[in-house]
Amino acid sequence: MSVSGTYECVTKTPMGDQKSDVTIVADGDTFTGTNAGQMGSMAMEDGKVDGNKLTWTMNMTVPMPMKLEGEATIDGDTLTGTVKAGAFGSFPINGTRKA
């Protein structure tokens, strides 16, 4: 099964649960995508696919500029992973494929 799709996700952060739609478009061992939520939309950059494992970066601008590093595993219709926010640590992200 392809990792491509749109996932309804929740990231547990110090600012509370951040809901977003994560859209992944895989192309071989790379992917492009977006993470769109209450604070706007961020492009998922440097996306890499290794089997069912994904890694990427995002440049957050709101509420402060910061580079985020993400990694996740797709198991069927479930996305499970973490988003590392520099000195703030890593936060769990979980989602379910909706498209």
pLDDT: is 62 or 94 the higher one?
94
Q: What is the mean pLDDT of the chain?
A: 95
Reported pTM: 0.93
pLDDT tens digit string along 7-53?
A: 999 999 888 999 999 999 999 999 999 999 988 899 999 999 999 99
User: What share of the chain has pLDDT > 70, as a percent?
Assistant: 99
| d(C-alpha 18, C-alpha 83), whole Å | 12
Determine the average pLDDT of the residues in 62-89: 94
Boundaries of every domain in the chain? 5-93
Spatial neighbors of 79 by CB under 8 A, at least 6 apart, are: 7, 9, 22, 72, 73, 93, 94, 95, 96, 97
CA-to-CA separations, 6 to 24, 61, 65, in angstroms, rounded = 6, 22, 25
